[in-house]
């Protein structure tokens, strides 16, 4: 699992836990304190509309911003617009699930989207919004998902060390500075033993003979 997939799942789990802990009031007509908190990120006007796409949009947007990754998943209330926009933006869309990917399936009244958080021998585990007026975890067999599509937003991630540092807010200067200090320190230590640098640099000190006699 790369860091984008991990961060997407962490964000989705945050909302799931709010419902599990009883912090969210489930209200009919697609409204409630936590639902409204998600919907407010789309503007001042809060619509009484299905909100699974809003949930996925907010979760992915937050993850990409945290990691400094350009978000190619449309920020939208519409499941159809999310799927179409993902394809237009060059994201891979196919029938194969992956951890951190977004599933799209058709259902009565339109489509439904959610986040794949685990793949098992039997199928997939998801976290999805607008599931019984809540953010819930669900499991589906491979038979059930045979006709679904999967948007591979997780492929924007990768597993680089630099990106991992940035996800926790480490400033670029601090990270690079630490790398330089570590490199210089390692070179100094190696030179103390092997004398690879010119003496005129002043790094081959008077203790060289003592070092040589006591260390090899």
Query: Is pLDDT above 60 for 166?
Result: no
- Strand 102-107 and strand 149-151: the pairing is antiparallel
Whole-angstrom distance, CA of residue 100 vs CA of residue 115: 6
Residue 183 is predicted with a pLDDT of: 63
Structure tokens at 199: 């003496």
Cβ atoms of 167 and 3 within 8 Å: the answer is yes
Report the share of the chain in percent with pLDDT over 90. Answer: 63
Selection from 162, 85, 150 nearest residue 115 by Cα = 150
Q: Which residues are registered as beta bridge partners of 124?
A: 119, 140
DSSP assignments along 39-79, one per residue: HGGG-SPPP-S--HHHHHHHHHHHHHHHHT----S---S-H
Which residue bears the tokens 């998600």? Answer: 38
- pLDDT tier, 10 (very low <50, low <70, confident <90, very high otherwise): very high
For residue 132, report the phi and psi dihedrals to the nearest 5 degrees: 55, 45
Residue 5 neighbours by CB under 8 Å, 6+ apart = 98, 99, 100, 154, 157
Helix (H) or strand (E) holding 178: helix 172-194
Whole-angstrom distance, CA of residue 188 vs CA of residue 170: 26
Query: Is pLDDT above 60 for 165?
Result: no
Question: For residue 118, how many other CB atoms are within 10 A of its CB?
Answer: 15
Report the share of the chain in percent with pLDDT over 70. Answer: 72
Cβ atoms of 82 and 74 within 8 Å: the answer is yes
Higher pLDDT, 196 or 85: 85
The domain 3-163: what is its CATH number? 3.90.1720.10
pLDDT in tens, 43-60: 888 889 999 999 999 999
Whole-angstrom distance, CA of residue 127 vs CA of residue 135: 7
Which residue bears the tokens 């937003």? Answer: 153
Whole-angstrom distance, CA of residue 184 vs CA of residue 40: 50
The residues of the chain that CATH labels 3.90.1720.10 are 3-163
């Amino acid at each position: 699992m790369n860091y984008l997939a991990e961060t997407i799942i962490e964000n989705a789990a945050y909302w799931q836990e709010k419902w599990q802990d009883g912090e969210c009031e489930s209200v009919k007509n697609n409204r409630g304190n936590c639902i409204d908190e998600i919907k407010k990120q789309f503007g001042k006007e809060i619509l009484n509309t299905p909100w699974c796409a809003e949930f996925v949009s907010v979760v992915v947007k937050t993850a990409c911003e945290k990691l400094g990754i350009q978000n190619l998943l449309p920020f939208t209330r519409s499941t159809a617009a999310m799927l179409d926009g993902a394809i237009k933006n060059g994201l891979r869309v196919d029938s194969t699930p992956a951890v951190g990917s977004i599933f799209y399936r058709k259902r009565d009244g339109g489509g439904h989207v959610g986040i794949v958080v685990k793949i098992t021998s039997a199928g997939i585990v998801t976290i999805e919004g607008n599931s019984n007026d809540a953010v819930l975890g669900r499991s589906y067999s491979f038979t059930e998902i045979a006709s679904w599509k999967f948007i591979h937003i997780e492929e924007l991630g990768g597993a680089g060390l630099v990106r991992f540092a940035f996800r926790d807010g480490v400033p670029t200067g601090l990270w690079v500075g630490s790398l330089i200090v570590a490199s210089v320190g390692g070179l100094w230590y190696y030179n103390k033993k092997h004398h690879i640098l010119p003496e005129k640099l002043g790094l081959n000190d008077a203790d060289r003979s003592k070092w040589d006699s006591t260390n090899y």
